[in-house]
A = this chain, B = another copy of it.
Amino acid sequence: MPAKRPPVPLSRERIIDAALHIADSQGLRRLTMRRLGDALEVEAMAIYHHLPRGKEALMDALAEHVTAVQVEAAPTWQETAKAWCRASREALRDHPGVLALALTKPPKGATTLAIREQVEQLTDAGLPGAAEAVRTMRAFVFGSVAVEVQQSGWADPEVDTWTRRDVQADADFERGLAALIKGLQI
Protein backbone atom coordinates (compact mmCIF):
# COMPACT_ATOMS: atom_id res chain seq x y z
CA MET A 1 0.00 0.00 0.00
CA PRO A 2 1.40 3.36 -1.00
CA ALA A 3 1.86 6.01 1.65
CA LYS A 4 -1.25 8.09 1.18
CA ARG A 5 -0.47 11.51 2.54
CA PRO A 6 2.98 11.93 4.09
CA PRO A 7 2.51 14.59 6.72
CA VAL A 8 5.09 16.91 5.15
CA PRO A 9 3.59 20.22 6.18
CA LEU A 10 3.03 23.00 3.70
CA SER A 11 5.36 25.96 4.03
CA ARG A 12 6.11 29.20 2.31
CA GLU A 13 9.38 27.75 1.06
CA ARG A 14 7.84 24.60 -0.40
CA ILE A 15 5.18 26.68 -2.12
CA ILE A 16 7.75 28.96 -3.72
CA ASP A 17 9.90 26.05 -4.87
CA ALA A 18 6.95 24.34 -6.51
CA ALA A 19 5.83 27.59 -8.11
CA LEU A 20 9.30 28.20 -9.55
CA HIS A 21 9.32 24.71 -10.99
CA ILE A 22 5.98 25.20 -12.72
CA ALA A 23 6.87 28.67 -14.04
CA ASP A 24 10.24 27.51 -15.39
CA SER A 25 8.93 24.35 -17.00
CA GLN A 26 5.52 25.44 -18.26
CA GLY A 27 5.61 29.24 -18.26
CA LEU A 28 4.20 31.89 -15.97
CA ARG A 29 0.76 31.83 -17.58
CA ARG A 30 0.29 28.19 -16.59
CA LEU A 31 1.18 28.85 -12.97
CA THR A 32 -2.25 28.83 -11.35
CA MET A 33 -3.22 28.41 -7.74
CA ARG A 34 -5.04 25.20 -8.56
CA ARG A 35 -2.12 23.69 -10.45
CA LEU A 36 0.21 24.79 -7.68
CA GLY A 37 -2.06 23.06 -5.19
CA ASP A 38 -1.96 19.88 -7.27
CA ALA A 39 1.85 19.93 -7.34
CA LEU A 40 1.88 20.23 -3.54
CA GLU A 41 -0.82 17.56 -3.13
CA VAL A 42 -3.08 20.01 -1.41
CA GLU A 43 -6.21 21.98 -2.26
CA ALA A 44 -5.47 25.37 -3.77
CA MET A 45 -7.14 27.15 -0.87
CA ALA A 46 -4.56 25.80 1.57
CA ILE A 47 -1.97 28.08 -0.02
CA TYR A 48 -3.78 31.17 1.23
CA HIS A 49 -2.96 30.18 4.77
CA HIS A 50 0.76 30.63 4.07
CA LEU A 51 0.53 33.50 1.60
CA PRO A 52 -2.37 35.60 2.83
CA ARG A 53 -2.39 38.00 -0.13
CA GLY A 54 -2.74 35.03 -2.47
CA LYS A 55 -1.38 35.14 -5.98
CA GLU A 56 -0.16 38.71 -5.60
CA ALA A 57 2.02 37.62 -2.66
CA LEU A 58 3.20 34.61 -4.63
CA MET A 59 4.35 36.77 -7.52
CA ASP A 60 6.16 39.11 -5.15
CA ALA A 61 7.88 36.18 -3.48
CA LEU A 62 9.00 34.71 -6.81
CA ALA A 63 10.46 38.03 -7.94
CA GLU A 64 12.28 38.41 -4.64
CA HIS A 65 13.65 34.88 -4.81
CA VAL A 66 15.59 35.53 -8.03
CA THR A 67 16.44 39.10 -7.26
CA ALA A 68 17.61 39.31 -3.65
CA VAL A 69 21.26 38.48 -4.25
CA GLN A 70 24.03 38.77 -1.70
CA VAL A 71 27.73 38.27 -2.08
CA GLU A 72 30.73 38.25 0.21
CA ALA A 73 32.81 41.40 0.24
CA ALA A 74 36.02 40.89 -1.72
CA PRO A 75 39.34 42.70 -1.14
CA THR A 76 38.62 45.32 -3.82
CA TRP A 77 35.36 46.93 -4.83
CA GLN A 78 36.03 45.83 -8.40
CA GLU A 79 35.99 42.18 -7.40
CA THR A 80 32.95 42.65 -5.19
CA ALA A 81 31.09 44.32 -8.03
CA LYS A 82 31.99 41.59 -10.49
CA ALA A 83 30.94 38.86 -8.10
CA TRP A 84 27.61 40.56 -7.51
CA CYS A 85 26.90 40.95 -11.22
CA ARG A 86 27.79 37.33 -11.92
CA ALA A 87 25.68 36.03 -9.05
CA SER A 88 22.73 38.19 -10.08
CA ARG A 89 22.98 36.94 -13.64
CA GLU A 90 23.03 33.31 -12.51
CA ALA A 91 20.01 33.78 -10.28
CA LEU A 92 17.99 35.26 -13.14
CA ARG A 93 19.19 32.73 -15.71
CA ASP A 94 18.24 29.86 -13.45
CA HIS A 95 14.58 30.86 -13.52
CA PRO A 96 13.61 32.20 -16.93
CA GLY A 97 9.97 31.59 -16.09
CA VAL A 98 9.85 34.48 -13.66
CA LEU A 99 12.23 36.79 -15.51
CA ALA A 100 9.34 39.03 -16.58
CA LEU A 101 8.45 39.58 -12.92
CA ALA A 102 12.05 40.14 -11.85
CA LEU A 103 12.73 42.80 -14.49
CA THR A 104 9.45 44.55 -14.01
CA LYS A 105 8.36 44.54 -10.39
CA PRO A 106 9.80 47.35 -8.24
CA PRO A 107 12.31 46.11 -5.65
CA LYS A 108 10.66 45.12 -2.36
CA GLY A 109 11.61 43.55 0.94
CA ALA A 110 14.66 41.31 0.70
CA THR A 111 15.59 42.77 -2.69
CA THR A 112 15.67 46.31 -1.37
CA LEU A 113 17.82 45.15 1.52
CA ALA A 114 20.22 43.32 -0.78
CA ILE A 115 20.59 46.40 -2.95
CA ARG A 116 21.21 48.59 0.07
CA GLU A 117 23.81 46.15 1.37
CA GLN A 118 25.58 46.10 -1.96
CA VAL A 119 25.75 49.89 -2.01
CA GLU A 120 27.28 49.84 1.45
CA GLN A 121 29.83 47.18 0.55
CA LEU A 122 31.03 49.18 -2.43
CA THR A 123 31.07 52.44 -0.52
CA ASP A 124 33.05 50.86 2.29
CA ALA A 125 35.51 49.48 -0.24
CA GLY A 126 36.17 52.97 -1.49
CA LEU A 127 33.90 53.46 -4.49
CA PRO A 128 32.33 56.92 -4.59
CA GLY A 129 28.81 57.18 -6.00
CA ALA A 130 28.08 53.54 -5.26
CA ALA A 131 24.31 54.02 -5.47
CA GLU A 132 24.51 55.05 -9.11
CA ALA A 133 27.04 52.32 -9.78
CA VAL A 134 24.65 49.68 -8.47
CA ARG A 135 21.86 51.04 -10.66
CA THR A 136 24.17 50.76 -13.66
CA MET A 137 25.16 47.24 -12.68
CA ARG A 138 21.56 46.16 -12.29
CA ALA A 139 20.71 47.60 -15.70
CA PHE A 140 23.65 45.75 -17.24
CA VAL A 141 22.65 42.42 -15.70
CA PHE A 142 18.96 42.85 -16.56
CA GLY A 143 19.67 43.70 -20.18
CA SER A 144 22.21 40.92 -20.64
CA VAL A 145 19.90 38.26 -19.27
CA ALA A 146 16.86 39.54 -21.16
CA VAL A 147 18.65 39.37 -24.50
CA GLU A 148 20.20 36.02 -23.68
CA VAL A 149 16.92 34.41 -22.63
CA GLN A 150 15.12 35.90 -25.64
CA GLN A 151 17.80 34.55 -27.96
CA SER A 152 17.75 31.14 -26.30
CA GLY A 153 14.21 30.72 -27.52
CA TRP A 154 12.82 30.14 -24.09
CA ALA A 155 9.28 30.72 -25.27
CA ASP A 156 5.88 29.22 -25.81
CA PRO A 157 6.31 26.52 -28.46
CA GLU A 158 9.56 24.70 -27.68
CA VAL A 159 10.91 24.76 -24.15
CA ASP A 160 13.33 21.94 -24.97
CA THR A 161 16.06 24.03 -26.54
CA TRP A 162 16.89 25.75 -23.24
CA THR A 163 19.58 23.44 -21.94
CA ARG A 164 22.97 24.17 -23.46
CA ARG A 165 24.94 27.09 -22.06
CA ASP A 166 25.50 29.82 -24.59
CA VAL A 167 29.26 30.43 -24.71
CA GLN A 168 28.70 33.48 -26.89
CA ALA A 169 26.51 34.99 -24.20
CA ASP A 170 29.09 34.18 -21.52
CA ALA A 171 31.82 35.93 -23.51
CA ASP A 172 29.62 38.95 -24.22
CA PHE A 173 28.73 39.22 -20.55
CA GLU A 174 32.31 39.07 -19.33
CA ARG A 175 33.48 41.55 -21.94
CA GLY A 176 30.71 43.97 -21.04
CA LEU A 177 31.33 43.47 -17.33
CA ALA A 178 35.02 44.32 -17.66
CA ALA A 179 34.18 47.47 -19.65
CA LEU A 180 31.53 48.48 -17.12
CA ILE A 181 33.87 48.12 -14.14
CA LYS A 182 36.51 50.08 -15.98
CA GLY A 183 34.02 52.85 -16.73
CA LEU A 184 32.97 53.02 -13.08
CA GLN A 185 36.39 53.85 -11.69
CA ILE A 186 36.79 57.22 -13.37
| Chain A interface residues (CB < 8 Å from chain B) | 56, 99-101, 103-107, 132, 135-136, 138-144, 146-147, 149-151, 153-156, 172, 176, 179, 183
> In the docked arrangement, what's the CA distance between A145 and B179, Å?
20
Residue pairs across A and B with Cβ atoms less than 8 A apart, 11 shown, are: A103-B104, A104-B150, A106-B154, A107-B150, A135-B151, A139-B140, A139-B143, A139-B176, A140-B143, A142-B147, A143-B144
Q: A143-B139, A183-B179 are in contact. Are A103 and B106 (CB under 8 A)?
A: no
Chain B residues lying within 8 Å of A136, measured Cβ to Cβ, are: 172, 176
The 8 closest A-B CB pairs, nearest first, are A143-B143, A139-B143, A100-B100, A142-B143, A139-B147, A100-B104, A103-B146, A142-B146
Tell me how many chains of this kind the complex includes. 2
CB-CB nearest in chain B for A104: B100
Q: Tell whether, in the assembled complex, residue B106 and residue A155 are in contact, meaning their CB atoms are under 8 Å apart.
A: yes
Known A-B contacts A100-B100, A103-B103; A146 and B155 likewise in contact (beta carbons under 8 Å): no
Our pick among B104, B146, B154 for the contact of A149 (Cβ within 8 Å) is: B104
Shortest Cβ distance from residue A96 to the other chain B in the assembled complex, whole angstroms: 9
Expressed in whole angstroms, the minimum distance between the Cβ of A94 and any Cβ of chain B is 16
